[in-house]
Amino acid sequence: MTNPGEESGSRSRGKMTGPGALTSSSTGWRCSHDPCNTCGYRSLSSLGWWRMVNPVIIIGMHRSGTSMVSRALDDLGLFTGRRKQRDNESLFFLDLNNWLMLQCGGSWDHPQPTRELLQHGQARSLAADYIRFLMRTPRLTGFLGWRNYLRYRKIGNLDFPWGWKDPRNTYTLPLWLDIFPDARIIHIYRHGVDVANSLYIREQARFSGRSHPVRHPYKRLLYVVRPKKGGFADSLRCAALEGGFSLWEEYVGVARSHVRKLGDRALELKYEDFLADPHAALLRLTTFCGLAADPAGIDAAASLVTKSRAYAYRNRPELEEFSLRASARLKVYGY
């Protein structure tokens, strides 16, 4: 495997200078030459993105409140995309994150292989350059919509607060920081047992009843002419509490590492604290994002929060028991 700053054959393991020499910084890997024709590195400045409003990138484990927070910020003036899923994830950035993970055999529920892409200097540089290119093409309409695209043409011309939410950002963030070195990061985290149970319930719903076409006497005949491409579950790992809980540990550990490195450019927010005092949390978030939100808007967004969702596992004896068994592991992350 080729590590950042190493290239088989033409590069030594010592300190490098000149074109193609990648150097590490708190925001990712940069080349000593900008732009560089050897490794393909291009900074935003070399691409002419002078007026750029830096994005807000929301990270955190799935089912941890990232959707709730991003919707609230959306209502308060943070543009998070025109075409989105029900969970408020921009399809444009979601597709790119999935593409990044698939390159090394990773997925949202098995994200560890993503590190192989990040550790390979050439592949990482090419991926970043490809994404920069897409952001200067009509493909960007998937995020901006046609009206905004026709007005701004490329992401570097945006003159309003913007960003996106996707739990996969937790693992792909170093590459996004190669592209947006001054981005601001929000990390949302939630009690691990509640996260694992939420994932478990979602997966079990996929197996219940006769709703799936393969169990329907007539609908399943379609498979004769069009074989099934995907599986029967979104994540078999998360079909068990332990699988979802261990995935939570991985995500929170990686996200915390990012937060420590980024200093005041990162904000970490506990889901349960958000529910306890949504007004204070939203005030903190809008200030961090540079949003000119009025008090009435913050009050309206705070009123939509359901406070009873905090520590929901306490209402289920079997989940309370699981929490006790995992108490030492929970303590590592502040629970």
Res 39 pLDDT > 70: no
Query: pLDDT digit string (tens) for 150-161?
Result: 999 999 999 999
State how far the Cα of 177 lies from the Cα of 26, in Å rounded to an integer.
Answer: 9
pLDDT at 107: 96
Res 16 pLDDT > 50: no
User: What H or E segment, with its residue span, contains residue 334?
Assistant: none
In the chain, the N- to C-terminal Cα span, in Å, equals 37
State how far the Cα of 249 lies from the Cα of 313, in Å rounded to an integer.
Answer: 17
State how far the Cα of 59 lies from the Cα of 106, in Å rounded to an integer.
Answer: 17
Q: Give strand pairing partners of 186.
A: 58, 267
CATH topology (fold) of 25-331:
Rossmann fold (3.40.50)
Q: How confident is the model at residue 1 (pLDDT cuts 50, 70, 90)?
A: very low
Torsion of CA 136, 255, 310, 316, to 10 degrees: 120
Res 58 pLDDT > 50: yes
Query: pLDDT digit string (tens) for 302-325?
Result: 999 998 899 999 999 999 999 999
The model carries a pTM of 0.82
Res 17 pLDDT > 80: no
Query: pLDDT digit string (tens) for 166-211?
Result: 999 999 999 999 999 999 999 999 999 999 999 999 988 887 755 6
Chain position carrying tokens 């961090």: 288
Percent residues over pLDDT 90 in the chain: 73
What is residue 220's DSSP assignment? G
What is residue 2's DSSP assignment? P
